[in-house]
Structure 1
Amino acid sequence: MAVHIRIHAPPMSAQFASPPPMPLPADKGQLLARLVDGLDSHALWWLSGYSAGLAAKPAQHGVATSAPQQSPAALATIVFGSQTGNARRIAERLAADIERSGGAVRLVRADAYPLRELKTERLLYVVISTQGEGDPPDDARAFVEHLAGKRAPRLDDLRFAVLGLGDSSYPQFNAVGRLLDQRLAALGAQRLFARGEADLDIGTVADPWLQQAVERARELEPKPVQRASVVPLRHAAVKVHDRDHPFAAELLANQRITARDSDRDVRHVELSLEGSGLDYEPGDALGVWPRNAPALVDDVLDTLELDGESPVTVSDETLTLRTWLESRRELTRLARPFVARHAAVSGQGALNRLLAPEQAESLRGLLESHQVIDLLRAWPARWDADDLVAALRPLTPRLYSIASSRKLVGEEAHLTVARTAWDAFGRSHVGAASGFLAAAGEDSRIPVFIERNERFRLPADASRDVIMIGPGTGVAPFRGFLQERAAIGASGRHWLLFGNPHFRSDFLYQVEWQEALREGRLDRLDLAFSRDQADKIYVQDRLREHGRELHAWLEGGAHLYVCGDASRMARDVEKALLAILAEHAATDHDGASERLEALRREGRYARDVY
């Protein structure tokens, strides 16, 4: 179907003041200016750490440098693994708190951590999330595998603490954090204090864990440690608008891009960032703070016979019960802690039995199929307003891959949003954020922030080829990729693999891809519409069909990207990639796994899965 997308001129280049005087010769100053031009805050912090590492080394090549100095406090290394940004934010907060207390600290993303340095560490904090069925984040795979493997060194001189982040709705809640905590201890390291296991209401566990981490770092004696590298990953300045201080973005467009007879309601959403100071790169996500539908809030209030205007105070903040339920508490995602609390309040034996360990699968089915209102109706109980707000989990933002490049759309961010909706238990259900965005009308204001995704970046070398695998709404970031590469005149080739149920009704951005093919901005497009023939065809099937060409692109230096569903699609695509590498590189499964992991380490295999 035709999709009309407004085209905008790129913004004017920003003007920068002259740099302050520096102790460098003129020619070196010019080289420095060229080097830092266009770098973001993460790259600038990395560069500063690299320079500091060079300065800390003994004199080389006739350059006089000072010897390593003893730190004012024990040098803490913070390693984080993050899929959606929560672990990164907690780790950055810990680094800032330790620095404010007078300590020395370095902050390292897990895939940038030099594993050879592990045996020389003295104080290590690990902040890591668990994904899906107990998997580590993509950026922490090598770190976790190294620690769990035979090559991990003895760590008798190391003191450590682990903070795990997860979702108790999943059976393998915080499995990665537990694994690392137990493995570090088994390798001889001394646990400073108990492992933290944070649920979606992260602060409840993270805040006291952070306080302990700062206190212990301050208490420990300083020990000079010679390191080969320093890899900080920090924002250079506090953002005006962030997760806790979102920007109210004006809604510019909200257009359905699936056919009316499609069973999927997918929207193209355009938001204005004008005046926000927010910036993003292709691959980043937009965080959206949703509001629960008023009708859903009314259902909860009516079912519990509660007055929505009743005042409720939490942490010295007093709001009406209705306000808490609309904008501060999760109603569309059911979690185990609330089920346990409701079982206690209701006294329902059947519900209590679901919480037994042997009923894990049945409980999981309940969490996936029921919203809070369904639980309240199926197992009636009397709640008062204060206890209800205390028991419900805090509402959390949802992240959407940005489907645009600022070089084309200017002060805007575009999203591709699938409205989640289904009927069950005699009522209609809708996802909090997707329903909120789909219902947003003209002049609506949407609270948003930018979530950086440094692991999902286009190659710096614009001559590199790019392979993009994005079925369904997973195609969103690749719209931004293609816009960006066209804007900079990239000479590398572009190959997109897209899939959905039906060609006629579900071909997202069909006109744009066809125009890109005609104009040479897209070199290859392979499609997999699973329900248009007797045998279902998915993107992983197309990969296998064109395995020889895919392998040739990779051998030629191509970067490979996957975006979309983590539970099935991403796993099936990875299996297909392993089979292709094994066949066309004439190796076995282990060799293919090593090759794929090497591509990941090189930054040539990146995933944005959810």
Structure 2
Amino acid sequence: MLPEHAPFSPDQRRAVDIALAGLDASQRFWLAGFLSAGGSSATAPAAITPAASVKLTVLYGTESGNAEKLADLSAKEAKKRGFQAAVKNMADISPADLAKVENLLVIVSTWGDGEPPESATSFYKEFMNGSSVELPRLRYSVCALGDTAYEKFCQTGKDFDARLEKLGAKRVSPRQDCDVEYEEPYAGWLDAALKALAPATHSGIVEVVGAPAAAAPVGGVEYGKKNPFPSELLEKVLLNGEGTTKETWHYELSLDGSGLSYEPGDALAVVPVNAPDLVEGILKAAKLSGSETVEVKGVGSKVLADALREDFDITALSRAVLTKLQTISGSEKLAALLADDAKDQLKDYQWGRWIVDAINDFASNGLAAADLASIFRKLPPRLYSIASSPLAHPGEVHLTVASVRYHAHGNHRKGVASTYLADLVAKGAQVPVYTHQNKNFRLPTSSDTPVIMVGPGTGVAPFRAFVEHRGNLGKPGKNWLFFGDQRYTYDFLYQTEWQDHLKEGFLSKLDVAFSRDQPEKVYVQHRMLDRSKELYAWLQEGAHFYVCGDASRMASDVHEALISVVEKEGGFARDVAEAYVEDLKKAKRYQRDVY
């Protein structure tokens, strides 16, 4: 049906609705082409029909949801151009399925140290190592998502691109490697790829739009990544007790009037600014006053000090930043460090250092304002797991954030976003935010399904949301939380809330591990092994298993513990236990949100 705001009278709307109701899909498609061509029946079908028979598969692998969002947008645009487009998650197909595909777009992110996304790991391993499928009929193009702050930038996308070519597929459009600001390069890639796959389709630059807001915001303004919502900080509470070595904050932010919504498992993007002392350090190293004017992409001319504070990532010391600095400075010492045979030395140098250190070390004579601005990328937002249920806290969103502070090379260091919230945002002030979907970290559809949650430290955040949500839905299934931190007395995050949930029956079981309260370190994976019999029984009942927190050690240790539990209690060989756990992943009963 036509919407009420369509430029037709009520009688005309009814007439059009009646006419369209009697048309099948192919007739509607023909009519769309006829109208877009200005009513010329001789030319409209010819402009669109060639692509109508072209089938297209959009294959994605995602960690935080960006690749999935772009896959959906790609399919939508492809359908506008006449393709028969279908979206496939790497978690849901096998490499052998690609033998049936003739036209393929791959959109895949890289996670951690050049690793594939969690949901794409099985497909990646089989495709790269075990797959012998030949793909001589396949035409393809790859869009890789990554972060230049990491050494193996877009590595997964590069791997897929090379492997497809090796298996005989034809690359019809060059791979596009995208940094955290991916919208513009992605749009150019998609337009070129669709033209290459179906030259007869209409051309036109792709317009990338964000997901629509779930509720109409006040004043008709749509908030999202391109237009963050100025959220009021309603509350901030230090969760650690006196005597702790940690600094973990609970933040409560308002979403009233934003039109933004979220589900448990989603993330909140915080758009920070750089601290004044960081800006001053960069200006001092570059021998600039800060009053100079520079160009900021997408913004225009801006005072340098303001740009350093609001627009640029002035801390993360990546290879890309060092390469730009070397070009400007001409430093032979830096050139040697960037040589292919000096990768280990480069990694050693980067550890614990910031951009300001590199300027001091390799551009000691200072930099021109324009040159300084050219070495930075845009300051990226930070994603934090949401620690609240919208049912328990309507109009609000809560976060659990550990302030990052440390010493390196004789200097104080701090996390940009975590200390922005802790040091620079007072209660009642505004924080630019937007919600970010994570469809790969969702509660079971049935509230009766048992849930096991492993979340040490700030990894407990989404599980606070899970338990609140299930409790507010009523008749919650069994919920079991494994929580860990350093000390019971200081670091038991949300202790009274968990105790209340236990009394109310919203939380069925709580196992804790405080690593520093005894001579031997005890972690959440040890508690899992202690409870192996009951844990396996829950899995056999159909329980979903969730992990959130540190990826470098905790997540892998928990994974190994889970396999050990299945191996022991199921009486399986190691490979059978591994297959059991892999099947949990494929069934979306084992989900991780790790960082």
Cα gap change, 1:339 to 1:70, in 2 (>3 Å): closer
Residue of structure 2 equivalent to 1:369: 352
Q: 1:386 aligns with which of 370, 373, 395?
A: 370
CA RMSD of aligned residues (A): 2.5
Greater shift after overlay, 372-381 or 497-506? 372-381
Structure 2: tracts of 5 or more residues without a match? 1-12, 15-24, 26-48, 203-208, 215-221
Question: Cα gap change, 1:204/1:342 in structure 2, threshold over 3 Å: closer, same or farther?
Answer: farther
Query: Please, which of 564, 570, 577 is the counterpart of residue 562 of structure 2?
Result: 577
**1:465 correspondence with 2:450:** yes
Residue 71 of structure 1: how far off its partner (Å): 5.2
The yes-or-no answer on 1:344 pairing with 2:324 is no
- Mapped partners of 2:537, 2:129: distance in 1: 32
Which residue of the partner structure matches residue 269 of structure 2?
287
**Contact kept? 1:265, 1:418, Cα under 8 Å:** yes
The match for 2:399 is 415
Q: What does residue 412 of structure 2 align with?
A: 428
User: Partners in 1 of 2:342 and 2:549 — Cα distance?
Assistant: 30
Task: Work out whether residues 482 and 511 of structure 2, in 8 Å CA contact, stay in contact via their aligned partners in 1.
Answer: yes
Letter paired with 1:336: R
Deviates more, 1:576-585 or 1:312-321: 312-321
Post-superposition shift, 1:237?
4.1
Counterpart of 2:582 in structure 1 is 597
Q: Does 1:586 align with 2:566?
A: no
Matched, 1:173 2:158: no
Residue 153 in structure 1 maps to residue 136 in structure 2: no
Please point out which of 54, 74, 84 is paired with 2:64.
84
Of 206, 213, 230 in structure 2, the residue corresponding to residue 248 of structure 1 is 230
- 1:4-403 residue pairs with structure 2 within 5 A? 72=52, 74-113=54-93, 117-151=97-131, 153-202=133-182, 205-219=185-199, 237=212, 240-315=222-297, 317-379=300-362, 380-403=364-387
Q: Is the 8 A contact 2:533 2:569 kept in 1?
A: yes
Number of residue pairs the alignment of both structures matches: 534
Deviations 1:268-308 (A, max 9, x none): 00000000111111000001111001221122112212232
Q: CA deviation at 1:366?
A: 3.1
From the superposition, tell whether residues 358 and 271 of structure 1 become closer, same or farther in structure 2 (CA, over 3 Å).
same
What secondary structure is seen at the aligned counterpart in 1 of 2:481? strand
1:369 deviates by 0.6
SS at structure 2 position matched to 1:278? coil
Q: CA deviation at 1:425?
A: 3.9
Q: Secondary structure at the match of 2:71?
A: helix
Give the Cα–Cα distance (whole angstroms) in 1 for the partners of residues 416 and 497 of structure 2: 29
* Partner Cα separation in structure 2 for residue 105 and residue 178 of structure 1: 24
Amino acid at match of 2:487: H
Structure 2 counterpart of 1:64: none
Mark the CA change 1:260 to 1:377 in structure 2 (over 3 Å): closer, same or farther.
Answer: farther
- Identity across matched positions, percent: 37
Inter-CA distance 525–502: structure 2 relative to 1 (3 Å threshold): same
Give secondary structure in 1 for the equivalent of 2:307: helix
Kindly state the Cα deviation for residue 602 of structure 1 after the two structures are TM-superposed.
Answer: 0.9
Q: Secondary structure at the match of 1:360?
A: helix
Give yes or no for the alignment of 1:525 onto 2:507: no
Contact preservation (8 Å) 2:285, 2:366: no
* Residues 348 and 387 of structure 1, relative CA distance in 2, 3 Å threshold: closer
Q: Say which is worse superposed, 113-122 or 549-558, in terms of deviation.
A: 113-122
User: Per-residue displacement from partner, 1:122-172 (whole Å, max 9, x unpaired)?
Assistant: 111111111113321112123323423545532221101112222344343
Pair 1:527–1:238, CA change in 2 (3 A): closer
Render the CA deviation track for 1:537-585: whole Å, top value 9, x for unaligned.
1111111222222111101110000001111111111111112222222
Code of the residue aligned with 2:545 in structure 1: it is L
Q: Helix, strand or coil: the match of 1:259?
A: coil
Q: Is the 8 A contact 2:51 2:81 kept in 1?
A: no
Moved more, 93-102 or 264-273: 93-102
Where 2:399 maps in the other structure, the secondary structure is: strand
Q: TM-score scaled to structure 1, two decimals?
A: 0.82
Letter in 2 for 1:529: F
CA deviation digits over 1:100-136, x for unaligned, max 9? 4444433333224476642221111111111113321
- Greater shift, 336-345 or 506-515, is seen at 336-345
